[in-house]
Amino acid sequence: MRSIDTAPDTTQEHEATACPLPAPLASRIPGLLSLAAMPAAILVNPFFFGLAGGLLAVICLLLSPPRRRRLGIAGLIGAAVAGSLGVMVLH
């Protein structure tokens, strides 16, 4: 038998998560919280709520499976925009 015949098939793509969550929608909670922190970053305290929104968006990106990271990306961009708008509005 040749070694090419006994080699495992590596052409198939397998989506395997290192630590699957018990509830598939649990990765959306930090993303939604990061979006909820955007108005507070503009009106109350841009440094704290901008940083909190950014960290929650990164947590959402880390927990989300591939091809489902749009909410985390939106939260990360929103935290940066809301933090910079908050600095402009408050000062």
pTM of the model: 0.74
How far apart CA 23 and CA 89 sit, in angstroms, is 39
The pLDDT confidence band at residue 90, using thresholds 50, 70 and 90, is confident
Q: Is the pLDDT of residue 14 over 70?
A: no
Given CA atoms 69, 49, 37, 29 in this order, what sign does their dihedral have? positive
Q: What percent of the chain has pLDDT over 90?
A: 57
Task: Tell me if 3 is assigned to some domain.
Answer: no
Better-predicted residue by pLDDT, 27 or 78: 78
Is 79 within a domain?
yes
> How many domains are contained in the chain?
1
Give the position of tokens 């922190």.
37
Q: Find the domain containing 46 and state its range.
A: 33-91
Region 49-73 average pLDDT = 92
Is residue 2 one of the residues assigned to a domain?
no
Look at residue 68 in the predicted model and tell me its pLDDT.
86
Would residue 20 count as lying in a domain? no
